[in-house]
Amino acid sequence: MSSKDLSIIIVDDLQFSRIVVKTALKKAGYNGVRMADSASEALAMIEQKPADVVLADWMMPEMDGLELTQHIRQRDEEKGTYTAIILFTAHDGMEYLVKAFDHGVDDYLCKPPNPQELAARVNAAARVAALQNDLLVTSRELQQTIKNLEQMALVDEVTGAGNEHFLIKNLKAHLLEASNRRGGVCLALVEMRELNELADTHGDFIIDEILISQHRRLRRAVRPTDVVARLDNNIFGIIMHHSKTKDYKHSAIERILTMINNRAYKTTAGNLNITGFIGVHYYRGDQAIISADLMIKQAASKLDQARNDKSLSIAY
C-alpha cells in the first residue's frame, strides 16, 4: 500500500497539535489524513471509513487514548480487521511504555514528535496493519477451505479453531521436531472461570459467542506459527514451538492471560466480564521424548491446580 492510499486519523483535542502532525505527514507524502478533536469523533470516522493507522493523544477529555484503543480493538475483534495505533504523550519512562503496550497500542511517541521519526513510525505501523489484515484474510480463507473438507474432521464447528484431533496431530509433530533438534514445546491449556455460571444464566448461544471471541483473542495473543485449538467445552489448547529453549518466556503466557482479562466480552446479552486461568507444561528437547497424551495430561494437571486455587491464574 502506497502512502497515497493509506488512511490515517489524527486524534487530539488541541487543534495546533493536530495541524502540526498533519503537516508533517503531508510533507512525507501521506495524503489520506483525517483529523478528529475527540475520541468519539474518531470512532465515528472509523465507522464511515476504516483507518489503517490511528495517531492519538494519550491525554484527552471524556475519553483518553487508552480508552480509544480499547474501543478500536473491540471493533477490530468484531469486524475481523486490524488497526495500527500510535499514542502521543508528554510522559516518558518505561512504566508508560509498558502500560501502553498492555492496552494494545502498537507504538508510542513523546510529544512533540520529530517529523522524520513520525513518518517512519507511521510507515512501520502501516506495514504491521497490512500484514495483520493479510493474515486475517488468509486465516478466514483457510478456515473456509478446512470447513469444506469435512472428512478431515480437524475443525471445531463453533469457533473455527482446530479441534482436539488437530491439536494432538500438531503436538506430536512439534514434540518430534523438538526432540530431534533440541528445541522446546510449550503446551498451554486455557479455561474461563465463569463460563458454567454464564451458561446457566444466559444459555448456550451466548457461550458460543464468547468462545468465538475467545478464539480471536487467543489467536491475536500468540505468534502466527503457534497452534490454537479448542479441546473440550471451554478449554483451549495453545502449542508454542521454540527452536531454542531459551526463547521460551513466561511473559508469553502472561500476555495470553492479559488478552483474556483485559476487556469485557461483547455479547447479545451485554458486556460480560470473564477471567481466565492457564495450565502450562514445557518440554525440552534435551529430555527423553514424551507422548502427546502425556504432554496434555501434564498441562491438564497444572490447569486443575489453577482451577482449584482461585488466587492462582497461571500454574507452570
- Backbone angles phi and psi of 6, in degrees to 5: -70, 135
- The residues, ordered by sequence, that sit 6+ positions from 203 with a Cβ below 8 Å of its Cβ are none
Q: In the numeric block, which cell numbers belong to residue 221?
A: 495473543
User: What's the confidence (pLDDT) of residue 3?
Assistant: 58
User: What's the confidence (pLDDT) of residue 66?
Assistant: 92
User: What's the confidence (pLDDT) of residue 166?
Assistant: 92
pLDDT at 295 over 70: yes
Beta-strand pair 227-232/235-242: antiparallel
Confidence tier at 148 by pLDDT (50, 70, 90): low
Q: Using the 8-state DSSP alphabet, how is residue 264 labeled?
A: P
pTM: 0.58
The lowest-confidence range among 89-103, 110-124, 175-189, 210-224 is 89-103
Instruction: Give the sign of the dihedral formed by CA 66, CA 67, CA 68, CA 70.
Output: positive
Q: Using the 8-state DSSP alphabet, how is residue 111 labeled?
A: S
Dump the DSSP string for 195-223.
HHHHHHHH-HHHHHHHHHHHHHHHHHHS-
CA nearest to 197, candidates 210, 188, 186, 179: 210
List domains and CATH numbers for the chain.
8-135 (3.40.50.2300), 154-315 (3.30.70.270)
Q: What is the pLDDT of residues 153-176, one digit of tens each?
A: 788 889 989 999 999 999 999 999
- d(CA 231, CA 121) in angstroms, rounded, equals 40
Residue written as cell 504523550? 89
- The residues, ordered by sequence, that sit 6+ positions from 223 with a Cβ below 8 Å of its Cβ are 240
pLDDT at 98 over 90: no
- The residues, ordered by sequence, that sit 6+ positions from 216 with a Cβ below 8 Å of its Cβ are 77, 80
pLDDT at 117 over 80: yes
Q: In the numeric block, which cell numbers belong to residue 23?
A: 503537516
pLDDT at 270 over 90: yes
